[in-house]
């Protein structure tokens, strides 16, 4: 039997269907474009989602952000700039190159921009340890030791004065670096008051080795110092309360009222005194119970001794019920005249 071949109409060549297909493609492309646009805008609006980089700093994210990013990115108090492919933090009136950012320990290491490649220039801005520690945005992880710079009109023969040849002038002025609390008062007639002071990192063991050469000074200054940040502590302090940060590896903060610490100490003292009083009362109660138990034992032993001396025999309740027929027989009063 010969099979009949049916030819179906070719819808793909139908002008109406072709137009519908083209319209559907345009609408799908339009929706996809707007979807990804809205997604990008949503990301920009989320301060925790904004990411950027600058030079060696590959990850800049909340609370930091680069200038030029949407205003919703990061926190306004933690703004960085990118100049000549270097991330820069403006702290006080100075500029500091960002050497690293650790988001786990919440620390950012910075170095004075003038010290990045050497120390043949004074720091951009003097900075003292109390200035770093007094900034509510950061926890200054700096040493109390500092490096100061002085100009002297004559050479100083003192190991505490480290000469910086490249900063000395032709008019005879000699620049020295002084570490920590080196005494320069005996030279105040020929040396100026420290021109500038620079804070140092808190993680250098100055007791083990104090800087004694130009190379040591340069290494310390180029090492920079750490700033620990805490957005929560900043907000806490701005609200008029006090904030403390604990745990260096994974910091957490505790926000309290200014007098709360005193109240906590008072509560601890009260609880301590109350604990002592309760302990004394408990000990007295135990002594009382022990004494009472001893007295009862002594009384029982005396009673038993009395029974033995009178040759009295003890009967149990079961023995008495058996002898009396379960108390059916009444005792005669003439046999036991004192029984009642």
Q: What is the pLDDT of residues 99-126, one digit of tens each?
A: 999 999 999 999 888 887 666 777 777 7
DSSP characters over 254-270: EEE-TTHHHHHHHHHHH
Domain ranges of the chain: 38-83, 98-256, 267-323
Tokens of 119: 């120390």
CA–CA dist 227, 320 (Å, integer): 92
Q: What is the model's pLDDT at position 181?
A: 56
State mean pLDDT over 210-225.
Answer: 82
**Which residue(s) pair with 174 in the sheet?**
152
The number of CA neighbours under 13 Å toward the Cβ of 195 is: 16
> Is residue 52 scored above 70 in pLDDT?
yes
CA–CA dist 266, 259 (Å, integer): 11
Q: What is the model's pLDDT at position 192?
A: 78
Of the candidate ranges 38-52, 105-119, 144-158, 317-331, the one whose mean pLDDT is the lowest: 38-52
Own/partner long-range contacts of 154-158 (Cβ < 8 Å, ≥24 apart): 154/190, 156/187, 156/190, 156/191, 158/187
Q: Helix/strand/coil (H, E, C) string of 99-111?
A: EEEECCCCEEEEE
Tokens 């005396």 found at:
302
Within its chain, how far is the Cα of 68 from the centroid?
Answer: 30
**Greater model confidence, 6 or 72:** 72
Tokens 């003192």 found at:
158
Tokens of 142: 């700096």
C-beta neighbour count of 179 within 10 angstroms: 20
């Amino acid at each position: 039997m010969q099979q009949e071949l049916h030819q179906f109409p070719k819808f793909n060549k139908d002008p109406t269907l072709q137009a519908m297909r083209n319209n559907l493609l345009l609408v799908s492309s339009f929706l996809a474009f707007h979807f990804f646009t809205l997604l990008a805008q949503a990301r920009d609006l989320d301060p925790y989602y904004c990411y950027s980089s600058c030079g060696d700093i590959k990850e800049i994210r909340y609370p930091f952000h680069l200038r030029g990013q949407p205003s919703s990115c990061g926190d306004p108090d933690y703004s960085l700039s990118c100049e000549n492919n270097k991330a820069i933090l403006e702290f006080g009136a100075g500029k500091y190159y960002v050497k690293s950012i650790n988001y786990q320990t919440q620390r950012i290491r910075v170095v004075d921009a003038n010290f990045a490649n050497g120390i043949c220039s004074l720091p951009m801005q003097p900075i003292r340890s109390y200035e770093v520690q007094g900034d509510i945005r950061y926890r200054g992880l700096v040493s109390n030791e500092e490096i100061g710079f002085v100009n002297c009109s004559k050479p100083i023969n003192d190991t505490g004065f480290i000469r910086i040849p490249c900063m000395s002038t032709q008019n005879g002025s000699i620049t020295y670096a002084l570490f920590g609390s080196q005494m320069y008062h005996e030279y105040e007639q020929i040396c100026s008051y420290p021109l500038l002071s620079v804070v140092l990192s808190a993680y250098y063991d100055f007791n083990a080795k104090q800087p004694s050469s130009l190379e040591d000074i340069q290494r310390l200054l180029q090492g920079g110092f750490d700033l620990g940040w805490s957005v929560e502590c900043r907000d806490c302090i701005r609200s008029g309360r006090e904030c403390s940060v604990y745990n260096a590896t994974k910091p957490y903060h505790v926000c309290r009222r200014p007098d709360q610490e005193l109240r906590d100490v008072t509560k601890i003292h009260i609880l301590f005194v109350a604990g002592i009083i309760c302990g004394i009362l408990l000990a007295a109660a135990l002594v009382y119970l022990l004494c009472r138990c001893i007295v009862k034992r002594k009384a029982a032993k005396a009673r038993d001794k009395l029974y033995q001396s009178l040759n009295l025999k003890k009967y149990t309740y079961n023995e008495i019920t058996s002898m009396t027929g379960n108390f059916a027989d009444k005792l005669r009063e003439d046999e036991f005249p004192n029984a009642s």
